[in-house]
Structure 1
């Protein structure tokens, strides 16, 4: 119970720090596996595992599946079965892999990616900016601290003539790919011409802000703006500032994949991954058992 509390506390701390991770929980285990139902761990984007959801034979499968879950944002039920076990039917949302350990045993691990909420920057103290803030919260966006747009997915500049150029420049320098300027087409063109922007910078600024839905009131304008932001994220693949991964996802792990030549399992190559150099070719293994079988052949 203490271990579970520790993982729970760690998950809370990562969530508060806006760090992406996968929460893994063993939901079923068959002896002689060392894992037990309720065992838990968090898997970070670099592939490191904190906690326990199985021994070395299962660890590589958990790591690879967790990083896939971080990339696509989908939950996954991972079934790790002995080599000679009857296969499960192909079920959406489930993955079956082979446990190469001689000890056998089967486990099912539920992998839940926990991604930070999308971050929205908001500039201006106007009825429109207040309406955008309310709607963004309703859409599960977090609001960036005023003037600090690092990591923001989009920035809405709704100052209506006050401090707009400074806020636009701050958003561009933070690497924000979508800056929505609340202004008429004519006023926006004049304001942006004064800023001497590059073509690339100009392309990142959207004005008039929002989809054309005939909006008139601050609430309707906010709706049109948030609809355009959501479309940019979900349809166009807009990523947070400084993020090289797909929108809502973390940067990819620096570990490269390899296929175990004995059991066929995909492993992530790291400093501690078992490997052998045979006839000038490197081979990587999920566990010392597969390495021993390969070198004994």
Structure 2
């Protein structure tokens, strides 16, 4: 039976609670799992870690060589929204046996061990806030829920649930329309739509303009909300609104939260000692070039004979 580990983390299973907290806040993260190892390696099968878009790691997947690589690949997976399977070790360890679709990343510092790490991006589901209590509002929430969206039905005084990645649909049907739209705009959500006729929308936006709401803010309000299907039933109106939201999300994307806005740091270089791709950090200057290292041992080895390693890199 393969060796499994459930507690290879300084925090035990606490990192899962951290994942739950990130999800509640609407922040994206990646889950990294060690699915295979070849000793010696500090990472064990079953080790897991959570990595945020800023590069914060919670949990355990391996030592100084594996960790920066996993963090970098996790950040890229979050940007692209696709999972990936990494083989961390010397390419010679795998030869032609590497399955298609896997990525081999060299990590040869002080070890002949190897790891296989699966990285899965976890991006928060769309957040829909429907303001109002009409049959259409209830139908819209039910439809969005069937897509796996986080959909909430709230009153005009309950808009504190709105966050930057939210879709907000105001369907109060003449009851507190102006107040609802103004409160929604104050939260700077990804979308604000008002259910109603163009004439009613013009009246609401005109009132808010007179109250001092900025024109660029009012321009963000979609009136009427949803695809224009003409005179249809309340169920069809709900479908038209949801279709518009799906189209918007697919066309331009909706910010999944503050964490996912970050791009992975593109400032990387190759460690001249082990050949590993590393972040540019505390570089050593030699003959007009700067060199960064994955760990202290590679740095010390370079400083002992920088000319040899610099020459080796120049031939690559």
Q: Give TM class, smaller chain.
A: 0.7 to 0.9
Q: How far has the Cα of 1:34 moved from its partner?
A: 2.1
Query: How far does the alpha carbon of each residue in 1:141-186 deviate from its partner, in whole angstroms, 9 at most, with x for none?
Result: 2235631222343110101111111111122121123211101122
TM-score by length of 2: 0.81
Which residue does 1:79 correspond to in 2?
87
Q: 1:2 Cα shift?
A: 3.5
Instruction: Report the Cα distance in structure 1 between the residues aligned to 2:288 and 2:262, rounded to whole angstroms.
Output: 29
Partner of 2:195: 182
* CA spacing shift, 1:256–1:84, aligned 2, 3 Å: same
Say if 1:48 and 1:152 are closer, same or farther in 2 by CA, change over 3 A: closer
Q: Give runs of aligned pairs for residues 143-162 of structure 1, distance below 5 A.
A: 143=151, 146-148=158-160, 149-162=162-175
Length-normalised TM-score, structure 1: 0.85
- CA shift at 1:284, angstroms? 2.2
SS of 1:165's partner is: helix
Residue number in structure 1 paired with 2:122: 114
Q: 1:98 aligns with which of 89, 102, 106?
A: 106
CA distance in 2, matches of 1:99, 1:250: 27
Name which one, 1 or 2, has greater alpha-carbon Rg: 2
Q: 2:247 aligns with which of 219, 222, 231?
A: 231
Q: Quick one: distance in 1 between partners of 2:301 and 2:146?
A: 56
Deviation beyond 6 Å, 4+ runs, structure 1: none
Q: How far is the alpha carbon of 1:40 from its aligned partner?
A: 1.1
1:63 aligns with 2:71: yes
Which SS does the other structure have where 2:54 is aligned? Answer: coil
Instruction: Return the offset for 1:221.
Output: 0.9
CA 213–292 in structure 1, closer or farther in 2 if over 3 Å, else same: farther
Greater share of residues in helix: 2
Name the stretch that deviates more: 62-71 or 115-124. 115-124
1:259 to 2:275 alignment: no
Q: Aligned residue for 1:211? A: 227
1:290–1:159: structure 2 CA closer, same or farther, 3 Å change rule? same
Q: Could you report, residue by residue, the CA deviation over 1:223-250 in whole angstroms, capped at 9, with x for unpaired residues? A: 110111111111122336xx57xxxx71
Partner residue in 2 for 1:292: 300
Report what 1:15 is aligned to.
23
Q: Give RMSD over aligned pairs.
A: 2.6
Q: Is the 8 A contact 2:90 2:112 kept in 1?
A: yes
1:168 match: secondary structure: helix
How far is the alpha carbon of 1:114 from its aligned partner?
A: 1.7
- The partner residue of 2:182 within 158, 161, 169 is 169
- Report the CA distance between 1:194 and its aligned residue: 2.3
Partner of 2:207: 194
1:264 CA drift (Å): 4.8
Inter-partner Cα distance in structure 1 for 2:24 and 2:36? 29
